[in-house]
Amino acid sequence: MKFWPKALFARLGTVIDWLETHQGLCMVLLTAALAWSAFVSCHLSAKNIQAMKDMEIERTRPMVVLEYLQEMPLYGVRLRNAGLTAARDVIVHTVPGIELCFDDPEKPPIRFLKEKIDFLPPNASCQAMLGTMPQIQRINKTLVYRGTIQYADAMGRQYTEEVVLDYTLFGGTWYSGKTHIHEIVEELENMQGAINGNLHPQGSNDGGFSATISFSRKGGEKTEAGKASGKEENPPHGPTNGAGGMINEPINGKEEPITEPIHEPVKFGKESIHARVLEHVRQHPGEKRGDIVEALGIPLSTVGSALKALGERVEYRGSKRTGGYYAKDE
């Protein structure tokens, strides 16, 4: 005990004497501290319980979303409740308003976008096909719809979701219209042949395309290139384009054979191609796109573009396997 000074023991004795004298006050202070700690603990527990309750409400709440719908070549919109509980009083508002884009003067409004939906169960959806991408762009040039979705849950809690539908994301998508993989491969090979030199796009005001066409003498005779290589060329009777088809119109304005090779590009405007495709469909109703390509000697992609442009005058009838194209005036 020699390390502890006597003054320290004296002070401790004084404190102990004070505590013994004021025992009531000390008990009050200790009880107040215990009560405060209990209050703080209860408050924190209540906050944790509320947080867990909010998390459960958020987990089980309705979640109404507006989604893209793509069934090539058509595009649409789908309103879906992706939540776990039902949504009530669903109201959709977009700028510009979403509407059907088909060429029909009596097209009806999209009711689930124009009117309030009283009850939308979980995983339930409403959908509508708007049209092809060119048809949608004629109605909304920006291809972007912005707005909000307002709805409530069963307890009356209100929710608002922001909506942005940007159809420019689908710009440049390619639709083949084929159902079998070998048909897709064949079409891709045709496109590759066009890219490799059969089709040479050139800038022009009429938006046409130019195909390099080579003409030669009658079958059995050699062209200048054939003489040099020692090979005979036996083309069909008449000039052919890069896609291998026949061109039967006189090129020089005369019903005379062309005896010298011509290697300059010959340009076909869109209107001329559309007229040829329309006339062929009228004369050969029920043919498929591949038959038109083979008969006219026009690349498959060009025939497809012409048929789309002639949508008001040409239509596809029947199933994908057995159907074909027909003129609407028939």
Largest CA distance in the chain: 138
Do 289 and 220 belong to one domain? Answer: yes
Q: Which residues, other chains included, contact 109 with Cβ-Cβ below 8 Å and sequence gap of 6+? A: 99, 100
Structural domain range at position 166: 64-170
- At residue 149, does pLDDT exceed 80? yes
Do 302 and 197 belong to one domain? Answer: yes
* Confidence band for 3, pLDDT divided at 50, 70 and 90: low
DSSP-based helix, strand, coil % in the chain, nearest 5: 40, 25, 40
Average pLDDT, the chain: 77
63 within 8 A of 81, measured Cβ to Cβ: yes
- Of the candidates 219, 281, 276, 274, the residue with the CA atom closest to the CA atom of residue 247: 276
Mean local confidence (pLDDT), 266-285: 78
- The string of DSSP codes covering 200-247 is B----TT--EEEE-B---STT---HHHHHHT------SS-B-TTS-B-
- Written in H, E and C, the secondary structure of 284-314 is CCCECHHHHHHHHCCCHHHHHHHHHHCCCCE
Between the alpha carbon of residue 147 and those of residues 93, 162, 166, 256, 295, the distances in Å are: 5, 6, 12, 66, 49
* Top-confidence residue, 221 or 324: 324
CATH code at 240? 1.10.10.10
* Top-confidence residue, 215 or 154: 154
- At residue 148, does pLDDT exceed 70? yes
- In the listed set 170, 197, 212, which residue is the last one of a domain according to the structure? 170
* Confidence band for 188, pLDDT divided at 50, 70 and 90: confident
Predicted pLDDT at 145: 94
Residue matched to tokens 């074909």 = 324
Do 216 and 311 belong to one domain? Answer: yes
Domain membership of residue 45 (yes or no) is no
Residue pLDDT, tens place only, 117-134: 999 999 999 999 998 888
292 within 8 A of 251, measured Cβ to Cβ: no
Predicted pLDDT at 235: 46
* Top-confidence residue, 283 or 264: 283
Share of the chain above pLDDT 70, in %: 68
CATH code at 165? 2.60.40
Do 202 and 242 belong to one domain? Answer: yes
Domain membership of residue 258 (yes or no) is yes
Q: Which residues, other chains included, contact 185 with Cβ-Cβ below 8 Å and sequence gap of 6+? A: none
Mean local confidence (pLDDT), 47-69: 91
SS3 7: helix
Number of structural domains (the chain) is 2
Residue pLDDT, tens place only, 158-172: 999 999 999 888 876
Residue pLDDT, tens place only, 201-255: 444 444 444 444 443 434 444 444 444 444 444 444 444 444 444 444 554 455 5
Predicted pLDDT at 110: 92
Predicted pLDDT at 103: 78
Residue pLDDT, tens place only, 280-314: 999 999 898 888 988 888 888 888 888 888 888 89
Do 242 and 118 belong to one domain? Answer: no
How far, in Å, CA of 160 to CA of 157, rounded? 10
Domain membership of residue 237 (yes or no) is yes
SS3 189: helix
* Confidence band for 263, pLDDT divided at 50, 70 and 90: very low
Between the alpha carbon of residue 196 and those of residues 189, 192, 200, 244, 293, the distances in Å are: 10, 6, 9, 14, 18
Predicted pLDDT at 240: 45
Residue 225: half-sphere exposure toward Cβ, Cα within 13 Å = 9
- At residue 258, does pLDDT exceed 80? no
* Top-confidence residue, 150 or 232: 150
Predicted pLDDT at 221: 42
Residue 303: half-sphere exposure toward Cβ, Cα within 13 Å = 26
Domain membership of residue 13 (yes or no) is no
* Confidence band for 16, pLDDT divided at 50, 70 and 90: confident
131 within 8 A of 100, measured Cβ to Cβ: yes
Question: Does the predicted TM-score (pTM) go above 0.85?
Answer: no
